[in-house]
Amino acid sequence: MSKVGILGIGSYLPDRILTNFDMEKMLDTSDEWIRTRTGIRERRFANDNEVTSDLAAKAALKALEDANLKPEDIDLIIVGTNSPDKLFYPATACIVQDKIGARNAAAFDLQAGCTGWIYATTVAVQFVQSGMYKNVLSIGAEVITRMMDKEDRYTYVLFGDGAGAAVVGKTDNGGFLGFELFADGSLSKYLEIPGGGTALPFSKEVLDKKLHYTTMNGKEVFKFSVREISRVSNIILEKTGFKVDDVDWFIPHQANLRIIEAGVGRLGIPMDKVVITIDKFGNSSAASIPVSLNEIYQKGKIEKGDKILMVSFGAGMTSGAMLLEWSK
């Protein structure tokens, strides 16, 4: 099969920062309570005039610049998101296509919870390997804070907004070495927005009961997430013939520092190889992994040939992992 890798990467984070001390003024919570349970110190909130497609478009343009490509060079745009501009249609990816001027690109959204960018990138690679498309934009973008109840101290403090994008295309060396995707719909009730869809359409009751906001069983989500970090990582390493010691960088979904530490402990990866951004950005859902990848790339920490293991888990419940040999 053709070698397919990341030709360019970029991210965008809103400039509005809310610290834990800001949260103290809004909720019955404290900086100490949030830090010790989540590892979060601050998070980014989209400005009132920003929507998901705005963040996605800005990240996409940065990725195109990094790849030395023009918007017209893109054949397909996939946006992994749980907080689209419009509830049902049009797809946020179509709006992004227009905003960046990618007039030659097909476009669609992909919804897989916080694992959205892993799923989207896996799909992007298949399109390139098949020869159908040359350059595919895989974007993880969220204004997820608007999907939270501002009075819920257990969910509102966790999330932040942001976007990360990668141009996926053929490369002469390195590239993606393997993928692993998983879903268990029997657990979907543990993290969901009950109202607003076809199962429970918008109504006065939905609004009064706040069923259009995120509900979460923290205990069950924690158990699933810790298990999946090590499980899907071990599967992909076995499939590709690599060992834990071969991994140079480990990028887990930034949901909760305690989840990361517990999962990494089971996996046996030292923390100095683990990328942590949750303290600054909170849980940005489908955006968290590409944002974290771009963070260490921009800081010059990734070297050509480095093996990067990326793992995510989220609503659905879904999980997924990718092993990448850096080729830039």
Tell me the three-class secondary structure of the chain, residue by residue: CCCEEEEEEEEECCCEEEEHHHHHHHCCCCHHHHHHHHCCCEEEECCCCCCHHHHHHHHHHHHHHHHCCCHHHCCEEEEECCCCCCCCCCCHHHHHHHHHCCCCCEEEEECECECHHHHHHHHHHHHHHHCCCCCEEEEEEECHHHHCCCCCCCCCCCECCEEEEEEEEECCCCEEEEEEEEECHHHHHHEECCCCCCCCCCCHHHHHCCCCCCEECHHHHHHHHHHHHHHHHHHHHHHHCCCHHHCCEEEECCCCHHHHHHHHHHHCCCHHHECCCHHHHCECHHHHHHHHHHHHHHCCCCCCCCEEEEEEEECCCEEEEEEEECCC
Active site annotation includes 283? yes
Catalytic residue among 20, 82, 256, 283: 283
CA–CA dist 76, 135 (Å, integer): 7
Active site annotation includes 212? no
List the one residue out of 2, 328, 3, 1 whose CA is nearest residue 166.
328
Amino acid present at 95: I
Catalytic residue among 82, 253, 256, 294: 253
Catalytic residue among 114, 135, 212, 256: 114
Active site annotation includes 253? yes
Which residues are catalytically annotated?
Answer: 114, 253, 283
